[in-house]
Structure 1
């Protein structure tokens, strides 16, 4: 690591290995990264009082996911990606061992940052796992900032320009019908609508499903019910390439979709 690198150091004792066991520092050279990018850094292992044979070191990406079960909902921790960054090696007592890494970030990784700052409720962390003598310590969840792709940022900017108020973001277990997903959950970014649409819509949820080639933008509007009608959800979907998304007038597209909500019924796609 050079002095110019931005490094965040997370230190923990591996309790599963007992007093006198190795300690691990995970040093991130890229604590802010985009989907499809690379999380780079170095795992530094400090030997304890005795010699140890380390079986492997692995890094995992973890987030919190909302899971529905019948009428109940609870939050669980989901490790959605893991890669081994080291094979077996011998760690002498008091010796140091460094393992550099470059971990690819899945394209569907939920974002934790928006152009205006952090997304409330959105968390992604890296977890260092070290296996010694078949005792595995998964360590603590250390946060990593996931920045939006430029194509995603254009959509988020449009919501801000239209006056939507960010409510929160969360991850929902499950899959979106008609979309190819690699991860078993998807992110919902929830907004309160501005005044011109607040009379018709309670809130709007935005979901991105990205891959190397493009981006699916899924909108869900929770329409208000009337005196003799119940509320309903209306969906919209747009599938575009990343370059195309940069050229789109998302402000106009989203405003047009919102204006048309009064004429749409049920659960069909609004695009």
Structure 2
């Protein structure tokens, strides 16, 4: 999608900017390429610099209420000072390395309901800044992330929604100022013990941390409460693990742990499971420093797991289109068409109070 916009900061007769991405579909850790096209207006201008930034919507807490804010979390320098003559056409190459923790916004060729992301072009001249162009970006999951998402669908979990929460996850190395939550309604075979599951990926070059939050069902005399599991997967594990069986093990371990805590009246006491398996077959991604999964931690209740967290209620890139029907069968359905995804940014691209990660 291409947006050609006059740069209002330069006044009437000023230049226009048109950012064109070679392919708006990408994955964490890949390079997003394209070019920034400038067209001179009716008079010469001196441009101080041109940058692009990845922006997305993040759920924030403030003054006792929740609200969404447009946050820039990654910025790349495109050009320094340059002289743009009247009527001149100038194309500048663009290369944006996608952070490993970039949240997933598309799955099986469809937008992930609740997620939006764009690349915003900023042009500055003599102290005036114009956020002149905003183009949608579609972030598809890494292979190991995709296999785990598929596993939840195959087990019967129904996708509820996804969002970004401001804050950091305790005990997990995290560089971005937010994390993504993918929410599911419990599959029938687990519905006796849990209501919902929230899945968080924190990816890095050598693997992916997986954090699961289980919203428990309360008994007759006991209220429901959350518990957590934390795991690690190497990128090379994507095609060497039965992920449906692995996710089933994680969920049943959480249920068993919860039942043990109830029996012993040990609410709020952390308990730890054993490592899941020793995976680590060679693959196309860099191997982990320690292959296989880390220890699974259960029973970490309350707000100590997520920092700055609000109180909550209780296949390949070339085959994305072919996966739409399969995605619906696995519990996913596209909530918005491409234009609606981008329109959800509204007029916020003109606001000046964005955070920069």
Class of the TM-score when normalised by the shorter of the 2 chains: over 0.9
Show structure 2 runs of 5+ residues with no match. 259-266, 271-296, 300-357
What are the Cα deviations for residues 158-192 of structure 1, in whole angstroms up to 9, with x where unaligned?
11111111111100011111111110110001111
Looking at structure 1, the residues matched to 165 and 6 of structure 2 have their Cα atoms a distance apart, in angstroms, of 33
- Asked if residue 45 in structure 1 is aligned to residue 34 in structure 2, the reply is no
Partner in structure 2 of residue 134 of structure 1: 127
- Asked if residue 230 in structure 1 is aligned to residue 223 in structure 2, the reply is yes
From 24, 27, 40, the equivalent of 1:31 is: 24
Show structure 1 runs of 5+ residues with no match. 1-7
Query: Structure 1 residues 263 and 69, CA, compared in 2 at 3 Å: closer, same or farther?
Result: farther
Partner in structure 2 of residue 203 of structure 1: 196
Contact map agreement 1:220 1:234 (CA 8 A) in 2: yes
Query: Which protein is richer in strand relative to its size?
Result: 1
Structural mapping, 1:95-106, within 5 Å: 95-106=88-99
What are the Cα deviations for residues 127-163 of structure 1, in whole angstroms up to 9, with x where unaligned?
0000112110123542100011111111111111111
Query: Which protein is richer in helix relative to its size?
Result: 2
From 274, 279, 298, the equivalent of 1:270 is: 298
TM-score normalised by length of structure 1: 0.92
Cα offset, 1:32, TM superposition: 0.2
Cα offset, 1:70, TM superposition: 6.3
Contact map agreement 1:190 1:204 (CA 8 A) in 2: yes
Of 118-127 and 191-200, more deviation after overlay is shown by: 191-200
What are the Cα deviations for residues 189-215 of structure 1, in whole angstroms up to 9, with x where unaligned?
111112122232121111110111111
Of 247-256 and 47-56, more deviation after overlay is shown by: 247-256
Cα offset, 1:16, TM superposition: 2.1
Looking at structure 2, the residues matched to 241 and 82 of structure 1 have their Cα atoms a distance apart, in angstroms, of 28
Q: How many residues align?
A: 264
- Asked if residue 261 in structure 1 is aligned to residue 222 in structure 2, the reply is no
TM-score normalised by length of structure 2: 0.71
**CA RMSD of the aligned region, Å?**
1.6
What are the Cα deviations for residues 204-243 of structure 1, in whole angstroms up to 9, with x where unaligned?
1111101111110111110111221111111111112110
